[in-house]
């Protein structure tokens, strides 16, 4: 065979080889595209498939949970999927996708894609805790310690009167000390705003004294319409250099000395305590409860009155008097109402 014939045969074989290689490459590409399309459809379908759950589900993602654990937990609550689907979608979302620990609510008809959005945004379920007006700091601490939605041991008992009673929202496992700091900061800010609006001739010269008196008013009445009048009675007595003679201050002093009483007796009024306003003429050295905003406002901006006395009316409210004789008559009415003779 001539050299030319040999060269032609070699070129022919090379051509056939490359032709077959191109066909094989095209076939592989077609198969790859087909697999990719089928995979994309499959992953998309799984991501958008409604949950099998018949009601909303609450699930907690704990610190340190990785993709395998999260995928398992989502499967467990009805978001059925192969772990590979979660991994692919996590890869598609990129490095910016960062599941966050927390307690989340997943809708009954939700999808895996929506669930991944929820744990990425990291907006957990909010719980509410209502702190009632007039509780002592010790009582508030007890409420926090008994609430298993919170975490962490309380390091110090907050100062009396430093916590603002209201409803607080928080996520599960919020630290108890952090919630206490929120209560204190809220009180400081809101009370300071009210105090700044006081009459310049107000008999109380410090915000601290206003908190002390508000804590007494808070314990004296639970009726909103009476707060201003009760506050006016105590302020009138202070202006006249009279003792406040508030029963709750006696009870608080007894409690501080570890003496628990079911009902206040006349003998208790002689108890030697710095909070006993039947013995001291000034305000007590500290608040006796944690007053609310409305009561603090009633002390800073009290109603104008000539009252110096008040006594329970036996129906949940009080009767007010300008003179001691009127007060004695009101006491008689109270005894007749209650049958206490």
CB burial string 244-281: b at 16+ within 10 A, e below:
bebbbbbbbbbbeeeeeeeeeeeebeebebebbbbbbe
Please check whether residues 147 and 263 belong to one and the same domain: no
What is the tens place of the pLDDT at every residue in 198-240? 999 999 999 999 999 999 999 999 899 999 999 999 999 999 9
Within a domain: 100? yes
Please check whether residues 224 and 298 belong to one and the same domain: yes
DSSP string of 5-37, one letter each residue: HHHHHHHHHHHHHHHHHHHHHHHHHHHHHHHHH
Given 185, 210, 231, which residue is the final one in a domain?
185
Bigger pLDDT: 179 or 43? Answer: 179
Please check whether residues 76 and 94 belong to one and the same domain: yes
Beta bridge partners of 58: 105
The boundaries of the domain holding residue 150 are: 127-185
Count: domains in the chain: 3
In sign, the C-alpha dihedral spanning 221, 182, 147, 118 is: positive
Given 121, 154, 172, which residue is the final one in a domain?
121
How many percent of the chain have pLDDT more than 90? 67
pLDDT average, residue stretch 301-310:
94
Which pLDDT value is given to residue 29? 65
Task: Tell whether the model's pLDDT for residue 316 goes beyond 80.
Answer: yes
Within a domain: 71? yes
| Mean of all residue pLDDT scores within the chain | 89
What is the tens place of the pLDDT at every residue in 79-122? 999 899 899 888 988 988 899 999 999 999 899 999 999 999 98
Please check whether residues 144 and 202 belong to one and the same domain: no
Which pLDDT value is given to residue 2? 52
Please check whether residues 180 and 134 belong to one and the same domain: yes
Please check whether residues 317 and 248 belong to one and the same domain: yes
In sign, the C-alpha dihedral spanning 243, 249, 255, 260 is: positive
Within a domain: 14? no
Within a domain: 265? yes
Given 100, 121, 142, which residue is the final one in a domain?
121
Phi first, then psi: give them for residue 151, nearest 5 degrees.
-135, 165
Please check whether residues 236 and 330 belong to one and the same domain: yes
Which pLDDT value is given to residue 13? 64
Global pTM reads 0.81
Within a domain: 217? yes
Please check whether residues 203 and 255 belong to one and the same domain: yes
Among 140-144, 264-268, 281-285, the range with the most confident prediction by mean pLDDT is 140-144
Please check whether residues 174 and 264 belong to one and the same domain: no
Half-sphere exposure of 56 (CA within 13 A, CB side): 6
* Euclidean distance between CA atoms 26 and 268, whole angstroms: 100
């Amino acid at each position: 065979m001539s050299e030319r014939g040999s060269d032609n045969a070699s070129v022919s074989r090379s051509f056939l080889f490359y032709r077959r290689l191109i066909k094989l490459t095209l076939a592989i590409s077609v198969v790859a595209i087909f697999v990719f399309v089928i995979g994309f459809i499959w992953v998309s379908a799984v991501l958008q498939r409604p949950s099998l759950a018949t009601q909303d589900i609450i699930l907690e993602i704990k610190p340190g949970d990785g993709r395998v654990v999260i995928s398992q937990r989502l499967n467990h609550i009805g978001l059925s999927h192969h772990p590979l689907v979660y991994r692919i979608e996590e890869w598609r979302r990129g490095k910016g996708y960062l599941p966050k620990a927390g307690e989340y609510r997943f809708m009954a008809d939700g999808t895996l894609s929506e669930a991944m959005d929820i744990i990425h945004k990291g907006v957990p379920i909010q719980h509410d805790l209502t702190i009632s007006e007039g509780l002592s700091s010790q009582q508030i601490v007890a409420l926090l310690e008994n609430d298993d939605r919170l975490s962490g041991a309380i390091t110090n008992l907050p100062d009396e009167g430093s916590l603002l009673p209201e409803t607080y929202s928080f996520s599960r496992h919020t630290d108890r000390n952090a919630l206490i700091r929120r209560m204190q900061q809220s009180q400081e800010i809101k009370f300071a705003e009210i105090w700044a609006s006081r009459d310049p001739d107000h008999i109380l010269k410090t915000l601290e004294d206003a908190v002390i008196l508000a804590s007494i008013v808070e314990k004296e009445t639970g009726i909103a319409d009476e707060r201003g009048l009760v506050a006016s009675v105590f302020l009138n007595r202070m202006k006249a250099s009279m003792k406040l003679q508030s029963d709750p201050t006696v009870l608080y002093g007894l409690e501080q000395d570890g003496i628990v009483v079911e009902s206040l007796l006349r003998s208790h009024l002689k108890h030697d305590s710095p909070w006993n306003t039947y013995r001291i003429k000034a305000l007590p050295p500290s608040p006796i409860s944690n007053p609310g905003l409305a009561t603090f406002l009633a002390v800073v901006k009290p109603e104008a009155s000539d009252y110096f006395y008040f006594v329970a009316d036996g129906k949940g409210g009080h009767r007010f008097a300008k003179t001691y004789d009127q007060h004695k008559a009101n006491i008689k009415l109270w005894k007749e109402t209650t049958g206490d003779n």
